[in-house]
Structure 1
């Protein structure tokens, strides 16, 4: 969890340093005051990017050419404290852990696991396959130590094959790349398939968040036919792939088809129900993470009240506050985020980019 958080030049936020509560942190303020930017600072510290944009430069205040975020982490399970920092200057990103430079964001993500639920999170259920692959891969990253090197290796081979297709490389070169591509693809697919089985069990334990008559089906599709050998498919699609300029089969095309009572969720649920179902998936993944690692991630929830009725908000706030994990939740007013009288929490008010601790 975060014991301290400080940042400078993150969007419209003034430089700040705060000491969050170890459990519940409510961030309130008018629209465009900087509430979401507060959550972005936490996310950037973990992932070296924003959940709102893939371009980190867009997060830097327009009046500045650099930005930084730092935090003091405390791991309850081990009693260990860690200083984590990120700075972005002139297009270059630098990471530090306890004052020592580190090479990539994966190391930071291991130290500070973060999950975020925001207004666009419904795309997990309503958007394209890329959103669901990202969801699966977050879980695999923490569940299986072999996932990240396997994923990095596969991405390298995918890029090599795509480049060879565009260059119209000869069969000898293509065969060599495709042999390694298939080996890496199979390893990656096995890791993902194993995780989906764990996810099915975890999701079933959160039935309070969706209608009682909903029966869920999670169908993992690995990106190529289960009845065909991947090398045969790559050879068969090679000429067409040359014309397209990219590889048409493989784990980069994987998807998780989510249905309820035999129908895709978009055709059955309202937007409010979709949001509740999305939260259920995210919480299932968090519980799997906690059971598998013995650690607790930081949960960020942006604009929690939107598209939820009062009963749904109360249910979610009860779930969030009763779990022993650190949460940061935004809303326009604290009245929208009712806490039980005995629940410890902090309230931060954000106004015109200034953050003030109220409680």
Structure 2
């Protein structure tokens, strides 16, 4: 997946921007508040119809305008065939997505545009709640297995119904047995897909860690959300009275978690801030590498303020690795001199300066 033309209208302070990005490396530099991150946000809007910075669409749309629109020429299958993709979000919360002249839904859009974001919020993969790490796993499973989205939707439906009955206190033995049977069926399939995906991801992650964090022994572990030593149906039955008092289901894939450890200890507690940035970047880069290996399609990387938290040596290591990837990258920084890495002559690198929402090629 690559973007060859990007047209942005009314995304924060970007009133009207049009660029023809490189298929490889694009660097946007400028002072804080100039609109650098807004360019990445616009690309994220094009790929997922939402911002990675805010859940409130009114903050995304430029003041005084009724809607934000992003349009791009994309080669979605990496086969040299470009088609038009456009996304519009308006103040009423309505979303319109069109690809190749037809309306498409959000699941189709997510499959079409594989995006990876590396920004300050990416630290939450180590420091944040398990739900963030589940989203990370499920991004990979969604792109790896077409059956996953229907399994996930089915499971969410059953979980919601079971929790509603628990909150109301109206769930007899026969009814519980019926819902638990469905719950277990979905749970076991989702857990199997998550485990299989992490088995594939782990060697990719370890190879990248070896380059970005030499000398650090990082490992990935997986907690499915319940003790696998006991069948889930038995565990649901054993926990029923407690779940009834609490009003929610306490065991299952909705409580799964990814464990990142250093020499057997939690990475969030052992790594420095700079090391954490490299560790979470390694997770994201590993996902992109695995996605490319499985599909032959490169991801698009949105990397906000790359030099932040990294010294010159590690910033160069990061650039070296990014240069070896097939992915299209959009990178921001305050001072372009902070990315003084000498790119190889055959690497197509474009530099842009941003000031007050105006984007100028350098």
- The normalised TM-score by structure 2 is 0.94
Name 1:170's counterpart in structure 2.
171
From 348, 352, 361, give the equivalent of 1:357.
Answer: 361
Q: 1:315 aligns with which of 305, 314, 317?
A: 317
- Give the 3 Å change call, closer, same or farther, for CA 82–259 of structure 1 in structure 2: same
Query: How far 1:305 sits from its partner (Å)?
Result: 0.4
| Aligned counterpart, 1:139 | 140
Contact kept? 1:178, 1:234, Cα under 8 Å: yes
Matched, 1:245 2:232: no
- Whether 2:302 is the aligned partner of 1:296: answer no
Cα contact 1:12–1:353 (8 A) shared by 2: yes
Answer yes or no: is the 8 Å Cα contact 1:216–1:261 preserved in 2: yes
RMSD of Structure 2 on Structure 1 (CA): 1.6
Q: Which moved more, 1:228-237 or 1:111-120?
A: 228-237
Q: Output the CA distance in 2 between the equivalents of 1:137 and 1:228.
A: 24
Alpha-carbon shift at residue 291 of structure 1 (Å):
0.5
1:76 CA displacement: 6.7
Deviates most, 143-152 or 55-64: 55-64
Aligned with 2:264 (options 262, 265, 268): 262
Matched, 1:278 2:285: no
* Mapping for residues 53-202 of structure 1, pairs under 5 Å: 53-75=54-76, 77-89=78-90, 90-102=92-104, 104-171=105-172, 172-202=174-204
CA drift of 1:146 comes to 1.3
Structure 1 stretch 171-180 or stretch 264-273: which is displaced more?
171-180
Q: Structure 2 vs 1, CA of residues 262 and 170 (structure 1 numbering), >3 Å: closer, same or farther?
A: closer
2:350 alignment partner in structure 1: 346
- Cα offsets for 1:115-134 (capped at 9, x unmatched): 11001211111222112111
Deviations 1:304-325 (A, max 9, x none): 0001000111111122123222
Ranges in structure 2 where 5+ consecutive residues have no aligned partner: none
Q: Which residue of 2 aligns with 1:10?
A: 11
- Name stretches of at least 5 consecutive residues in structure 1 with no aligned partner: none
Name the count of aligned residue pairs: 356
